[in-house]
Structure 1
Amino acid sequence: MKVLIVSDTHRRDENLLRVIQENKPFDMLIHLGDSEGSEKKIESWLDEGCELHMVLGNNDFFSDLEREEEIKLGSYRILLTHGHYYNVSLGVERLEAEAMERNIQIAMFGHTHRPFYEVHNGIIILNPGSMSYPRQEGRRPSYMIMELDEQGEAHFTLNFLDKE
């Protein structure tokens, strides 16, 4: 199974369209918030049968997206959140505590516009960065690919968009 993980597109969707086209086929797209009204457009870009999971970001003012979502992939329980309710800009401790309390193995968040991948007490905590307004050194748009191998183990790859 192949999963494309993105966040913080902020209605500047051309990078996301490019990433979708370059990484097809994949089985699921996870968007971790701040799509700012592009939900239907993004959904229209996906192949038939591709699952879409999107959560509410702090800039998704008129959206009916859920604040967060729990999904199951293989043996993993995964928490999808934008992260602002957990103060992720200050650290991932609150998100980690929430994941532990809910028996989550992978917690995915956005909001900071910086890629992040760490394992805390056996919980994978990750942020794919921003597709539109990256804030890390080098400021290159980023996204992650999650692949479940034949044994059901998750592998993650952080990818950066080159300037065209």
Structure 2
Amino acid sequence: MNVLIVSDNHGDEEILATLKERHHSDVDAFIHCGDSELPANEKSMEYFRSVRGNCDFDDKYVEERVESIDGVNCFITHGHLYNVKMSLMNIIYRAKEVGASIVCYGHSHIASVEEANGIVLINPGSIRLPRLRKDKTYAILSIEQSKKITVRYYTTEGTEVKEMSFETILE
């Protein structure tokens, strides 16, 4: 199963439409980690499993969610409630509390993927205002039946950022 993960588009509807159009036939689900700055019922947010970021004011968004994706629990949140700019420990603890093996979050605008304490942490970066790199990025998570996890990053133009590729097997 393939899942497209985005965050922090800060009002840019066009990029969401572009990504849905580009990947509609090769991904099974879409996740938005918050700060869309769009109403929850906005057409460009359709199909996204989304959460509320610190710049989202529509109370129809939830603060966090747990989604089972191909039998793997994914914890989705923006990250501001867990102080992800300071440390990832709070979000790791919350993932363990909700029984998640994967965390999808945003807030920092810094694209990253790592494994810590048995949890895979994915920040797709920002598709509008990236930090620590010039490329506006999003991620595609692949989950195989063998519990093999692959994360690939792409620029908003669709070019793979090969140096950021990540693979692991979940326990």
Q: With structure 1 as the length reference, what TM-score do the two structures score?
A: 0.86
Partner of 1:128: 124
After superposition, the CA RMSD in angstroms is 1.8
Whether the 8 Å CA contact 1:37–1:63 is kept in 2: the answer is no
- Tell me how many residue pairs correspond in the alignment: 156
Partner of 2:156: 161
SS in 2 for 1:125: strand
Q: Deviations over 1:43-86 (max 9, x none)?
A: 45xxxxxx530000000113311010011112311100000000
Displacement of 1:99 after TM fit? 1.3
Matching of residue 33 in structure 1 with residue 34 in structure 2: yes
Displacement of 1:15 after TM fit? 2.4
Partner of 2:137: 142
Partner of 2:22: 22
Relative to structure 1, is the Cα distance of residues 22 and 12 closer, same or farther in structure 2, using a 3 angstrom cutoff? same
Q: For residue 141 of structure 1, what is the amino acid of its counterpart?
A: K
Partner of 1:4: 4
Report which structure shows greater RCO (CA 8 Å, sep ≥6): 1
Q: For residue 13 of structure 2, what is the amino acid of its counterpart?
A: D
Displacement of 1:106 after TM fit? 0.5
Displacement of 1:160 after TM fit? 1.6
Whether the 8 Å CA contact 1:10–1:132 is kept in 2: the answer is yes
**Equivalent runs, 1:50-129 vs 2, <5 Å:** 51-129=47-125
Whether the 8 Å CA contact 2:7–2:33 is kept in 1: the answer is yes
Q: Distance in 2 between matches of 1:13 and 1:141?
A: 15
Q: Deviations over 1:114-144 (max 9, x none)?
A: 101010011001100001111122x211000
SS in 2 for 1:85: helix
Q: Deviations over 1:71-119 (max 9, x none)?
A: 1112311100000000001121111111123221001101011101010
Percent of matched pairs sharing the same residue: 31
Partner of 1:48: none
Displacement of 1:150 after TM fit? 4.6
Segments of structure 2 that go 5 or more residues without pairing to the other structure are 159-171
Q: With structure 2 as the length reference, what TM-score do the two structures score?
A: 0.83
Q: Distance in 1 between matches of 2:143 and 2:119?
A: 16
SS in 2 for 1:90: coil
Q: For residue 86 of structure 1, what is the amino acid of its counterpart?
A: Y
